[in-house]
Amino acid sequence: MATDETRDKEPTGESLETKLSDELREYGPIQLLVATFSEPTFTGEILSEVRIMQEFGLVRVLDLDFIYKDEAGTVVAYEETEMGDEERLQFGALVGSLVGYGAGGEEGAALGALEGALSVAEHDFGLGLEDIEATIETLPNDTAAAALLVEHLWARDFRDAVLDAGGDIVAQGFLKPEALVTIGRELAAHEPPAVEEL
C-alpha cells in the first residue's frame, strides 16, 4: 500500500514534460519575429499586413510590442494582444513551466509556472521594467524596434487534419536563406574529393 510519502514518487504514467508539451501543442506553431528600424518611415503598412493575416484567420497575435525613439529622444510605445487576461496568465504559466522544467525538473516547473504567470500579469513577458528601460536607453534616437509573437492558426488546423487522418507531424520549422547556405557549406566540407580518371 502506498503511503503519503511514497505516493508522490510513484509513476503516474505520463511525465510532466509530456503533459506540458502536449498542452503547448494545443496552440499552433508559435513564431517570434523581431525587427529593428534605423531612420524609420512608418506609413501603417506593417500593422496593415498583420491585420490582413488576422482577418484571414492565418495568425493570432499573442503579443505585439513596438518602441520608437524619435530624433529628440522621446519614446513612443505600443502593445497589443488577442489573448484575454486569463489565457495570458495560463500561457505565461505554461511557457514558464516548460522553461523551469528544463532548468530544474518538476521543482523548476512549479517555480517557472509562477514566474511565467507573474510576468504576464505585469505585462512584461519576461522583461522587467529595468530591462525595458535599458533597451530604450541603448536604442539610438530616430530608431525603432518591434517584436511580434504569433500563433500560426492555419498550421494548427493543418496539424489537426493530419492527426484526424491518423498521421503525426514529425518535424516543423522555418526555412531561411542563411540556413540553406550553411547546409551547402557543411555538405561541401564533407564531400569526398573528386577522383580523376586515368
CA distances from 132 to 26, 71, 75 (A): 30, 19, 12
Q: Shortest CA distance to 58 belongs to which of 148, 147, 152, 162?
A: 152
Average pLDDT (95-113) is 88
Q: What is the DSSP letter of 195?
A: P
pLDDT of residue 59: 96
Angle between helices 85-121 and 16-24 (to 10 degrees): 120
All three cell numbers of 159, joined, read 496539424
- Using a pLDDT cut of 70, give the percent of the chain over it: 83
Average pLDDT, the chain: 83
What would the pLDDT profile of 166-195 be if each residue is shown by its tens digit?
Answer: 998 888 888 888 888 888 888 888 866 665
Convert the pLDDT of each residue in 38-88 to its tens digit.
989 889 999 999 999 999 999 999 989 888 999 999 988 888 899 998 998
Q: Of 155, 9, 151, which Cα lies nearest the Cα of 87?
A: 151
Model confidence pTM above 0.85: no
Q: Residues 99-106: contacts with CB within 8 Å, 24+ apart?
A: 101/16, 101/17, 101/20, 106/16
What are the residue ranges spanned by the domains of the chain? 14-153
For the ranges 22-26, 97-101, 124-128, 194-198, the lowest mean pLDDT is seen at: 124-128
CA atoms of 36 and 58, how far apart (whole Å): 24
